Amino acid sequence: MDELEKSIIHRIIGVRTSLAGERGRNKFAKMLDLSPSTYSYYEKDRIPPVPVLVKICQLCNIDLNWLLTGKNGESDKAISSEHLKIIAKTQKIIEKQPNSVNALSAFLNLLEEKASFETAVKSQNSSKNGWIPVLGRTAAGVHGSWSQSIGTDSRVVETHIEQLVQKHLNSSIVNSITADITVDSQTRGIIQALNKSQANLIQTTGNNEDDVVQFVECSEVHNLFPDSFALQVDGDSMSPRINDSDIVIVSPSLAAVEGLPAIIRISNAIGVTCKLIRMEDKSVHLIPINEKYETKVAAKNQILWSLAVICHIKLKK
């Protein structure tokens, strides 16, 4: 068996694992209307006949060209074994925790929208290194559910956390505000990298003067977390540490830590909330710093995602 045949079999094993699990060989064989012994023979040292290859592609929703060559038909890029491992891991999580589908979907949507946004920024503002997009606003308090929101269209998200700005960014800077950075993370490397750092809040406008897009210009944060984004706070439930109109910066690669400021997305709630968190067996306590606000408790399965606040920015008046 040559290397090409080995690579095809390796990809078959990968898609079988992602769909049926590590020990799902017999299950996968049944899906293909094959006997376990016949399918096992294919995984060991023999390429399946074309009809079986086609059926594998249909069953796993993959491209035949990729199965045979390891390359995507459209982009001609090889799909690595690491990608297959991620698919398999995701499949296992969903099998063990079916309720995690919404959380995974929300998180992937967030990453997809941010990637799309950053692609637009890079193509039109390639010289603007260290710019972090301000995706919207976050109310410093737990929102009511969609159905309970009086006078609010359920399609409108006040914070715009999941609604990236689709604007023309081939534009000039219309405003720049100097800002001080306060580090919220207790990770030593982050504290050292951001100590005494400053930032600028940059505003650009598109062809329409009303099309204003905001960025935080801070290369120190961007270098540490290229996937970071920012949100502007509404409310004072986190004061005096984080105040109304302050800007918090988070990263999908930095999960929330108990006892420190975090941005939390709650299922069926408008926008997001900024709070300290405390985890219990089946619940999460959302704790304000401002004593005039009460601690809210949410079931763990209501938390779609929670990200640590890396730092926040107080705008100079």
Question: pLDDT category, 238, cuts 50, 70, 90?
Answer: very high
- Tally of domains in the chain: 2
Is the domain of 28 the same as that of 152? Answer: no
Is the domain of 29 the same as that of 61? Answer: yes
Output 311 or 210, whichever has higher pLDDT: 311
What is the DSSP secondary-structure string of 188-225?
HHHHHHHTT-EEEEEEEE-SSTT-EEEEEE-HHHHHH-
For the record, the structure tokens of 241 come out as 């540490």
Output 316 or 175, whichever has higher pLDDT: 175
- The per-residue pLDDT of the chain, averaged, comes to 75
Helix axes 36-45, 3-20, angle to 10 degrees: 140
* The predicted structure's pLDDT at residue 82: 65
Output 14 or 82, whichever has higher pLDDT: 14
Is the domain of 177 the same as that of 240? Answer: yes
Q: Please give the model's pTM, rounded to 2 decimal places.
A: 0.53
**112-131 mean pLDDT:** 57
**Rounded (10°) CA dihedral 34, 36, 37, 42:** 70
Output 208 or 99, whichever has higher pLDDT: 99
Lowest-pLDDT choice from 74-78, 212-216, 223-227 = 74-78
Query: What are 138-172's pLDDT values in tens digits?
Result: 653 333 332 333 233 333 323 332 333 334 344 56
- What is the C-alpha separation between 120 and 122, in angstroms, rounded? 6
* The predicted structure's pLDDT at residue 147: 30
Is the domain of 86 the same as that of 124? Answer: no
Is the domain of 54 the same as that of 107? Answer: no
The domain that contains 20 carries what CATH number?
A: 1.10.260
- The CA-CA-CA angle for residues 188, 310, 178, to 5°, reads 110
Residues spanned by the domain of 42:
3-96
Instruction: Please report which helix (H) or strand (E) contains residue 106, including its range.
Output: helix 100-124
Is the domain of 251 the same as that of 228? Answer: yes
**79-105 mean pLDDT:** 72
Which of 54-58, 62-66, 73-77, 143-147 holds the top average pLDDT?
54-58
Is the domain of 129 the same as that of 112? Answer: yes
* The predicted structure's pLDDT at residue 129: 58
**246-271 mean pLDDT:** 86
Query: What are 18-44's pLDDT values in tens digits?
Result: 888 888 889 999 989 999 888 888 888
Query: What are 264-317's pLDDT values in tens digits?
Result: 888 877 778 899 999 998 899 999 999 999 999 999 988 888 889 999 998 765
Looking at 73, 96, 119, which one is the last position of a domain? 96
* The predicted structure's pLDDT at residue 162: 33
Is the domain of 294 the same as that of 149? Answer: yes
Output 52 or 85, whichever has higher pLDDT: 52
Q: Inform me whether the pLDDT recorded for 107 exceeds 90.
A: no
**220-236 mean pLDDT:** 84
Q: Inform me whether the pLDDT recorded for 70 exceeds 70.
A: yes
Is the domain of 274 the same as that of 225? Answer: yes
DSSP β-bridge partners for residue 311: 183, 249
Q: Inform me whether the pLDDT recorded for 218 exceeds 50.
A: yes
Is the domain of 183 the same as that of 256? Answer: yes
Is the domain of 140 the same as that of 251? Answer: yes
Lowest-pLDDT choice from 51-60, 91-100, 228-237 = 91-100
Q: Name the one residue in this structure whose structure tokens are 């376990």.
A: 36
